[in-house]
A and B are shown apart, each in its own frame.
Chain A
Amino acid sequence: MKEETVQKPKLKLAVYWGAACGGCCVSVLDVHEKLLDVIAAADLVFWPIALDTKYKDVEAMPDKYIDVTLYNGAVRNSENEHIAKLLRKKSKVLVAYGSCAHLGGIPGLANFTTKEAIFKRVYETSESTVNPDKILPQTHFEVDEGILELPEFYNDVRSLNQVVDVDYYLPGCPPQSERLLEVFMLIATGATLPPPGSVVGASEKTQCDECKRVKTENKKVKRFYRPIDIKDDGVTCFLEQGVICMGPATRAGCGVRCIEGNAPCRGCYGPAEAVIDPGAKMLSAIATMIDSNDEKEIEKAVETIDDPAGTFYRFSLPASILRRALV
C-alpha cells in the first residue's frame, strides 16, 4: 500500500500582550511537554515573550497572514491599541485571551481612577519618590542625542473588543493551560469552530455547579462578612458563610481553583452567560440573599458589603455598562 503523506500546512500562530502581567503568556508555556506538540502543529510567528520578532516584521506580513492570534492584556496605551489593530489586520482569527483582553481584567480597575491621579501618585506623591521638579514621563522627549518616544498612557482602560473586532474569547486570569490546549487542538485539527463571538475554552455552567463545597438552597443572611471576619470551615459554601463569592455568576472552567485554595471566587472567568453587564447578576444574587424586608435592616446588611463595585467587577469594570467611575 502506498502511503500518502500530505503535508498539512502548519498553522501560523501569534501571541501578544497588551497591558498584561505575563501570566497569560506563562499559561501558554505551562502546557509543559505539550508545547512541543503545539510547535509541531504551528509555527509561532510573533510572541514577544519568546521570540525576537519585531513590530516591523509584523507590519511586513501580508494581511490575514497569521491564522490565529491570541491577544492577552487590556488596552491601556497607544502602543497596545496600535498593535491590536495591526494584529487584527494580519490575523484570520483574533482571540481575546484571558480576562484582561476579554473584560479589561485587573488593569481595568484603573477605571476607578484617572490617568492624572495615577501619574500624580506614582511620580509625585509616592513616599519613596523624590521629584521636586515634578517630572512626568513624556510621549516625546528631547535628549541631547535625539528624541525619545513613549506610548501615550490613556485615561481609560478598554477590553480588546472595544478596540477591534474579536472572533473568540478565551476567559480566565490566566486561562487554564488545559483549556488552551483543547481549543488549540480543535483549531489545529480543523474541527468546525463555534460561531464567531463565542466564548471558548470554558463551560456553560457556573462555578457553583463544579464547586464541591456543601450548599443548601437556603442562602439567607442578615449580614455579610469579609474573608478575614470568618473562620472558614473549609467545607461550607462561602456564600452560606456570608462571604461574597462570585461563583453563582461566574463561568466554570478553571476547576474552581481559588476555592480549592480556600478563597472565594472573584470571577476571572467572566459572566456565565452572554450578559451586557458582568456584575449586575451578582449584585442581584447578593441582594436577594438579604434576609429581611425591613428597610433599616436591609441597609445595615448592605453596609457590611465593602467595595461592591470592586468586587462584582473585579475583572470586568471596562466591560460594564458604566465602564468607568466618574471622578
Chain B
Amino acid sequence: MKRITIDPITRLEGHGKIEIFLKDDGGVENVYFQVPELRGFEQFCVGRPVEELSQIVTKICGVCPGCHHMASGKAADAVYGVEPPPTAKKLRELFYMAHFVHSHIAHFYALAAPDFVVGPTADPALRNIIGVIEKVGVPIGTEVIKQRRIAQEIQALLGGHQTHVVMNIPGGVRKGLTSDERDDIVKKAEGFVEFSKFSMNLFKDVVLGNQTYLDIILNGPYALKIHSMGLVDANNHVNFYDGKVRVVDTEGNEICKYGPNEYLNFIAEHVEPWSYLKFPYIKAKGWTGFVEGQDSGVYHATPLGRLNAADGMATPIAQEEYEIMYKTLGGKPVHNTLAMHWARLIELIYSAERSLELARDPDITGKELRAPLDNVPSEGVGIVEAQRGTLTHHYWTDEKGIVTKVNIIVGTTNNNAPICMSIKKAAEGLIKKDTEVTEGILNMIEMAFRAYDPCFSCATHSLPGQMRMELVLKDTKGKTIRTIKRS
C-alpha cells in the first residue's frame, strides 16, 4: 500500500495533516485528516472570573476572535441570567456583522477566487491573489484591501483591541457609539453593500458564466449528502448573532431546532484516537462513522449549511440572491461542497445589508449599555454562528462568578467529519487506478477542503510566486516511491 502525507496542512484553525493511503493499483484506499493540536481552554479557563473569559477565549482563534468573544459574552450573560439592553445587543451585532464582512471578503478574494478566477489547474505561480488582481484589475484589488480594512476599523472602534476584542461585559458592552461615529459607520456600511453586490456580480460573470467551472461545482467530486446546521431567527431566516440552531436533514426536513440551553439534547461529540479534534454529530442519529446519507449523524455548519437550514435571508438583496442560487442549483437543500463559495457571498451581502440597518437604527447611539447584574451567577450557554460554523460556549460558575467548568464546541469542529469525508471523496474521485497524481489534482483535492475554511486559508494564495507543495508517496514501510512537487 502506498501512502501520501501532506504535512503540515495549515489552512485551518490551527494545524492539520492529511494522510492518503493508496491501493496497490493506485486507487484510494482511505484518507485521514488529522488535527495534531490541542490547547485545552476547557480546563485552564477554570478558576478565572467569568467576565474575563470573553478576553481569554478570543485566543482560541486569532482569525475569528470576534466569534469567540460574542459566544463568550452571551454565555456570561446567561450565567448571570441577564439580558443586555437593546443598544448593547445592537452594538454587538453591528460589530459582528463587520467581523463577517471582513472575513468573507478575505475568503472570497484571497482564497476562493484564485481557483475560479485564475483556474483550478492553472499555473500555481499565478493561482493566487496577485493572479486574481491581474485578471480583474488593480483597482478592484485595492478595493478589496480597503473594504477589508474598513471592516476591521469598525471592529476596532467598537471592540477596543483590533484583534482580541474587549467589547463585552456581562449584561452589555463597555463602550457606546457617538453620533459622529455612527454617521461614519453608515457611510462605510453603504460601501459594504455596494461592494458585496459587486462581488456577487463578479462571481456570476467569472465563475457561473464559465461552463467549465460550473461543471466542476455541479459535477466534480465535491458533493456530500449530509445534514445542514445553522442559526435562524424567529422567521427561520439566517442569523449570525442570535436565535435558535436549526438542523435540516439531507432532504431539507427539519430534524431539530434548539435554543442554546438545549444543545446537549441534540448534539454530541465522538472521539477518534488519531486526531486531537473531536467529531460532533446529531445525537438522535448517533455516531454512524464517516458516512453520508439520511441515516448518518454527520452534519455541516458552513455558509451552505446555514442557507440550507434556513427558510431565507432577513434582508432584501440577500433574499433575492438566495432564491437565485437555489433556483439555479435545482432546489433545496444543495449538497455541492463548492456552492459554499456562492452561499458565502450571499452571506456577505446579508452582513453588509444588516450592518447598514443596524448603523441606521436610532438605538445604536443609545446610552444604556449595561444591564445590572441582579442574579447569583450559575450556568449559561452562549451560541453564535461563526464564519465556519455554529459556535457553542457553555460555562458553569460558583456563586461569585468564578468559572468551575467549561464546554466549548468550536465552529470548525462541527465540520471535522465532513472535511475528512470531502477530502476522501475528492481524492477518490480524482485519483483512480493508474492516475498520475499531478499538481493540478492535488490542488483539486485541496479545493474540497478549502471550501470549508474561510479563515487561515484566506492567506493561502495571497503571496506571489512562493506557493510550493510537495507530496511524497511512500509505501507503508516509509520508503519513498515518488515525489511530486509544485513550485
Contact = CB atoms under 8 A, between A and B. Distances in A.
Classify A-B as touching or not with yes or no (CB < 8 A). yes
Interface of A: 17, 19-27, 29-30, 32-33, 35, 39, 43-45, 47-57, 76-77, 79, 105-107, 109-110, 112-113, 117-118, 121-123, 126-131, 135-138, 141, 143-146, 148, 150-151, 153, 173-174, 226-228, 231-232, 234, 254, 257-263, 266, 268, 306-307, 310-311, 314
Contact of B36 (A79, A146, A254): A79
A200 to B, nearest CB: 20
Contacts of A151: 36-37
A117 to B, nearest CB: 5
Contacts of A143: 30, 32, 274
Contacts, number: 266
Nearest to A114: B43
Contacts of B280: 128
Nearest to A105: B59
Contact of A136 (B160, B174, B271, B469): B271
Given A112-B47, A257-B161, A54 B275 contact: no
B178 to A, nearest CB: 12
Contacts of A50: 459-460, 462-463, 466
B145 interface: yes
Interface stretch (B165-173, B187-195, B341-349, B355-363): B165-173
Given A23-B164, A54-B8, A126-B407, A150 B468 contact: no
29 contacts: A20-B62, A21-B62, A23-B63, A23-B65, A23-B163, A48-B10, A49-B11, A51-B467, A52-B460, A54-B468, A57-B468, A57-B470, A79-B36, A107-B39, A109-B48, A113-B43, A128-B264, A128-B409, A130-B270, A137-B38, A145-B1, A150-B36, A153-B38, A174-B62, A254-B161, A259-B160, A261-B165, A261-B166, A262-B175
Contacts of A35: 462
Interface of B: 1, 3, 6-8, 10-11, 13-15, 19, 21, 29-30, 32, 34, 36-40, 42-49, 51-52, 55-56, 58-63, 65, 145, 149, 152, 159-167, 169-171, 174-175, 263-264, 267-276, 278, 280, 287, 370, 373, 394, 400-402, 407, 409, 455-456, 459-460, 462-464, 466-470, 472, 476, 486
Contact of B63 (A26, A113, A121, A136): A26
Nearest to B472: A56
A96 to B, nearest CB: 17
B273 A135 contact: yes
* Nearest 3 A/B pairs, CB to CB: A261-B160, A23-B62, A48-B10
A128 B468 contact: no
B207 to A, nearest CB: 23
B48 A310 contact: yes
Output the residue of B32, B55, B62, B174 with the most chain A CB within 10 A: B62
B163 A307 contact: no
Contact of B161 (A121, A131, A261): A261
B30 A145 contact: yes
B264 A122 contact: no
A23 B459 CA distance: 13
A76 B14 CA distance: 13
A53 B21 contact: no
A105 B56 CA distance: 10
Contact of A110 (B43, B174, B456, B486): B43
Contacts of B274: 137-138, 141, 143, 148, 150
B466 A22 contact: no
A306 B44 contact: no
Output the residue of B1, B152, B162, B486 with the most chain A CB within 10 A: B162
A145 B21 contact: yes
A232 B166 CA distance: 14
Contact of B174 (A52, A262, A311): A262
B13 to A, nearest CB: 7
B278 A110 contact: no
A127 B280 CA distance: 12
Contact of A257 (B45, B160, B175): B160
A307 B279 CA distance: 33
Contacts of A54: 6-8, 468-470
Contacts of A263: 55, 160, 166, 169, 174
Given A77-B36, A137-B275, A260 B394 contact: no
B463 A39 contact: yes
A69 to B, nearest CB: 16
B469 A23 contact: no
Given A23-B65, A261-B175, A262-B160, A306 B40 contact: no
Nearest to A54: B470
Output the residue of B40, B171, B174, B460 with the most chain A CB within 10 A: B40
Contacts of B407: 126-128
Given A106-B59, A122-B38, A145-B29, 4 more contacts: A51-B467, A107-B59, A153-B38, A174-B62
Nearest to B20: A145
Contacts of A129: 268-271, 278
Output the residue of B38, B60, B170 with the most chain A CB within 10 A: B38
B368 to A, nearest CB: 12
B270 A131 contact: yes
A65 to B, nearest CB: 15
Output the residue of B55, B161, B466 with the most chain A CB within 10 A: B161
Contact of A141 (B8, B263, B273, B472): B273
A76 B164 contact: no
Contacts of A144: 30
Given A32-B145, A122-B40, A49 B459 contact: yes
Contacts of B400: 306
Contacts of A226: 49, 51, 401
Contact of A307 (B162, B402, B470): B402
Contacts of A26: 62-63, 163
B62 A22 contact: yes
A266 B162 contact: no
Contacts of A112: 44, 46-47
Given A54-B8, A261-B166, A122 B42 contact: yes
Contacts of B152: 30
Output the residue of A146, A148, A232, A266 with the most chain B CB within 10 A: A146
A228 B271 contact: no
Contact of B271 (A39, A131, A150, A227): A131
